[in-house]
Amino acid sequence: MSKFVEKSTVISGIGQSDIGRRLFRDPLELTLDACLAAIADAGLTTKDIDGVATYPGPMSVPPGFSGAGVVDVQDALRLDLGWWSGGIESPGQLGSVINACLAVAAGLANHVLCFRSVWEGSAQGTKGRASTMPGGGGGGSFRASGFMEWTLPFAAPSAAPWIALMAQRHFYEFGTTREQLGQIPINARKNAGLNPKAIYTEPMTMDDYLNVRMVSSPLSLYDCDVPCDGGTAVIVSHVDTIPDLRRPPVHVDAVGTALRGRPSWDQFDDLTTMACRDAAAQLWTRTDLTPSDVQLAEMYDGFSFIALAWLEAMGFCGHGEGGPFVEGGQNIARDGGVIPLNTHGGQLSAGRLHGYGFLHEACTQLWGEGGARQVPGNPEVGVACAGGGPLAGALLLTTHR
């Protein structure tokens, strides 16, 4: 047995609720729909689930950011748990899944239900993004504190300008262009057209991309993901339980969780990359596989530039080479690309399921269940990467040991 304990864990099932721009449904219902689907997908019942993990746990602010916490699900499904964990301080959204892997490897649980649910679309309703900004869009006696103390007084309350600042620095240092970056949303939209659950599916051209309104230069509307409602769940199980599962699982070959720079959107040592740089590097020290073995990459695209940073960090191209790498789109194409990227449409077009959507899609593809969007050639190795700025967590997944 390898010293890397994540290799004793598998993804045994995945589930997703209805996904929509604004469903106006009970967030706990969406959460439970996803959880029950994942449990059934694994061939298990609620009596088999002995662990629960989630990101970020119950939060009322910002509205719609969290659909449920661990105890909501534990009580709703009357689960008996040997281990549980929920919280926002972890290596990105998938840090909760990695926590589950470690708990399973440690013997605290055999089958951990992991979930993430959002209802940001409904929370914004018709009031727009300003209604969910910190301070409720201003007014009253609200004062900024914590890390937002250093951004809110400068009318920079959103990750859009924070990431735009990094993208602009990358453009400056490496000559990256909007035409290059635009391949990430265009590729996502193309793939979303084959995903029946995607939010936006109509084709997007480069002209569409270059002419849509700017949000925070160089990021335009199409560089920003789409708030939505929905829940996603996965089951992390121990390899010893494989005989109990409905189908051969997806194996966790390696994880990356490092945070080596300052945990800040403006004080990080190199603003042309992010914490993903170190999480990815760590992942490759825990496996015999290399980037050239990977056949699909599901990478966080809350903003297009984050996916570019992940492509570089994971070694699919060198640092600073992301622009030329994605130029023209062929290298990241679902059908025939060097590394098919965000084969479901990513958060840019399939909806902001906030990290878990990438793991769900990686497993879907590795099980050959992608339908019209299936990556050809029976892919056996994929990566799921989530988080931007100081948040980063990655899993390397395979169909076999």
Partner 1 sequence: MSDTAVPDATAPEVPFRILPALTDLNREFWTAGARGELRFLRCNACGYYNHPPTMICPVCHSKDLAPHSVSGKATLHTYTVNHQPWMPGPELPYVIAIVELPEQAGLRLTTNVVNCPHEDLVIGMPMRVTFEHHSDGDDEIYIPLFEPDPQARAS
Binding positions for partner 1, rule: CB under 8 A: 129-130, 133-135, 137-139, 142-145, 147, 149-158, 160-161, 164-166, 168-169, 172, 213-219, 265-267, 269, 271
DSSP notation for 347-392: HHHS---TTHHHHHHHHHHHTT--GGGPPSS---EEEEEE--TT--
Alpha-carbon distances of 43 from 12, 15, 31, 49, 161, rounded to whole Å: 8, 12, 19, 11, 44
Structure tokens at 198: 């995607």
Q: Which is nearer to partner 1, 106 or 214 (CB)?
A: 214
Gap between the Cα atoms of 115 and 93, Å rounded:
10
CB of 270 to partner 1, least distance (A): 10
Could you give the 3-state DSSP secondary structure of residue 342? coil
CB of 87 to partner 1, least distance (A): 22
Q: Which is nearer to partner 1, 206 or 214 (CB)?
A: 214
Gap between the Cα atoms of 63 and 156, Å rounded:
18
CB of 42 to partner 1, least distance (A): 41
Q: Which is nearer to partner 1, 24 or 142 (CB)?
A: 142
Q: Which is nearer to partner 1, 155 or 206 (CB)?
A: 155
CB of 155 to partner 1, least distance (A): 3
CB of 387 to partner 1, least distance (A): 20
Gap between the Cα atoms of 237 and 101, Å rounded:
8
Q: Give the strand pairing for 381-386 and 393-398.
A: antiparallel
Q: Using N-to-C axis directions, what is the helix angle for 276-284 and 304-313, rounded to 10°?
A: 30
Q: Exposed, middle or buried: residue 338 (CB in 10 Å: 0-12, 13-18, 19+)?
A: middle
Gap between the Cα atoms of 348 and 356, Å rounded:
14
Gap between the Cα atoms of 195 and 361, Å rounded:
11
**CA nearest to 10, candidates 293, 242, 247, 290:** 242
Structure tokens at 377: 């050639």
Q: What's the one-letter identity of residue 33?
A: D
Q: Which is nearer to partner 1, 134 or 324 (CB)?
A: 134
Q: Which helix (H) or strand (E) holds 232?
A: strand 229-238
CA angle 8, 9, 13 (to 5 degrees): 155
CB of 168 to partner 1, least distance (A): 5
Q: Which is nearer to partner 1, 38 or 163 (CB)?
A: 163
Gap between the Cα atoms of 40 and 49, Å rounded:
11
CB of 19 to partner 1, least distance (A): 25
Q: Which is nearer to partner 1, 135 or 315 (CB)?
A: 135
Residues 6 or more apart whose Cβ sits within 8 Å of residue 288? none
CB of 273 to partner 1, least distance (A): 13
CB of 156 to partner 1, least distance (A): 5
